[in-house]
Amino acid sequence: MSVPTVFLESPQGDEIKEVEATAKSLGPLMAAGWHQVPAPAKHETVILANSKEEK
Amino acid sequence: MANIQELLNGWSYGQQSNITTPNTTAIWRHTNLNTKPWAQIPVNEDDRAEIGKGHEFPTQTFKSHYNMPTYEISKYASSEFLAWVMSFSLGNVTVAGSSAPYTYTVVPAMGATNPTGLELPYFSFIQQMRPGASAILDELLVGCALKSWKLSIKNSPGRASAMCTADCVTTGQYTSPSGITLPTVYTPHEFNAGMISTLTMNGINYLSGGSGKQFVSMDASWDNNFRPGFFPGSGTQDGYQIQGRFEWGDRAFAVQFVVRVQAGSEEYSNLINQTTGTATIAFTRDTNNSFSMEIQKMGFAAAELSNTDGIATIQVTGTQLYDPTNGLLTVSVTTPQSGICQSAS
């Protein structure tokens, strides 16, 4: 079963990332102030897992 | 006259859109081990300090403000309640899943990056006794915030072995009658201490290895230390001033735990060597209900020999350090309940 993802927006509001919904992946970004936003209408899936980008 | 058992408590699991707009749709009803209603305390002042009356005695009273006391919600720890408590008290919440179960990941919001500054999400609270035309009590309290919580784990049987209490505050704004028909009582998926699946403190594993079976109890607590919310324009209710914001002050995160002493106990060496490491406490009930709290960097502030029910123990006070990469703590809760701390759509 694939890990669900969520979309996080940077604290500056200038970037949105799709991130694996695991505490290990989300924790550092959320601690830095990234917060969840709805999925953008059109988005390229670049999933961040354990702080490493995978295309 | 009414028996206190008739008191019904409900509150919004969804957040309000702002401090003055109640959330009347995402409401659940829960039992509460605190048997008191949330008191409303309007405060009057008088003119005793004013000269010109010819004497020192007060001659009239004036409406001052609503001094709303802190209200405790005390429950056995469950996936639903822990998700609610952590989300509303810490503030930065993500939820994943398109159908049950949902996984909530929560970290403390930081003032520099939180979209609402120093304010946390607000919720609505309902208390009723015989709601209807002859209601004894029927109030919707608007603009409630979660001030503090305490998570307690004990080596005792039953649900009381894992408890969570939450202290809530509210502005003084209310609607009566509430206009809310509370749903049936929610049945939460509760944990007990036997369901602890990870228990590691600063590198010491208390579930297996040399320190296995040695854990006695733990108290973890969080306090947002809200600043008073009265300010010019904060609002009124019945002519009394009410609070218009709850901004966190110096937040406090405390962890204390008790373990049995044995030969080669690592707690003293970790204290003296100033060793730091992660601490993780996790409950797993089933695939739909779990809780994990990871403290990113814990040191020991004190380790004191003691006696617990005739067994030699050490009471350890942790120092929870902020890690520059991972922050202070990360909470992850999986639960069947959707919409916790989410905005009304």
Contact A23 B292 (CB under 8 A): yes
Q: Are strands A16-20 and A5-9 parallel, antiparallel or unpaired?
A: antiparallel
| Residue B56, CB-side half-sphere exposure with 13 Å CA sphere | 0
Where does B35-171 have alpha helices with state H? 79-90
Least CB–CB distance from A23: residue in B113, B114, B294? B294
Interface check for A1 against chain B (CB to CB < 8 A): the answer is no
Least CB–CB distance from B96: residue in A4, A31, A33? A4
CA distance B242 to B229: 8
Give chain B positions within 8 Å (CB) of A11: 112-113
- Given a contact cutoff of 8 angstroms between Cβ atoms, the answer to whether B164 and B149 are in contact is yes
Interface check for A37 against chain B (CB to CB < 8 A): the answer is no
User: pTM (2 decimals)?
Assistant: 0.95
Return the C-alpha torsion angle B330, B320, B150, B41, nearest 10. -100
Residue B128, min C-alpha distance to chain A (Å): 35
What pLDDT sits at residue B225?
Answer: 98
Give chain A positions within 8 Å (CB) of B330: 23, 26-27, 30-31
CA distance B109 to B119: 9
| pLDDT 10s digits, B245-270 | 999 999 999 999 999 999 888 999 99
Q: What is the ipTM of this complex?
A: 0.91
Residue B223, min C-alpha distance to chain A (Å): 18
Least CB–CB distance from A30: residue in B96, B105, B323? B105
| pLDDT 10s digits, B283-307 | 999 999 999 999 999 999 999 999 9
CA distance B312 to B334: 36
| pLDDT 10s digits, B102-122 | 999 999 999 999 999 999 999
| pLDDT 10s digits, A2-55 | 789 999 999 999 999 999 999 999 999 999 999 999 998 865 555 666 544 433
Least CB–CB distance from A28: residue in B97, B115, B325? B325
Q: Are strands B137-154 and B162-170 parallel, antiparallel or unpaired?
A: antiparallel
Which residue from B83, B67, B227, B75 is spatially nearest to B147, judged by alpha carbons?
B227
Give chain A positions within 8 Å (CB) of B92: 30, 33, 35
What pLDDT sits at residue A42?
Answer: 65
Q: Are strands B252-260 and B215-223 parallel, antiparallel or unpaired?
A: antiparallel
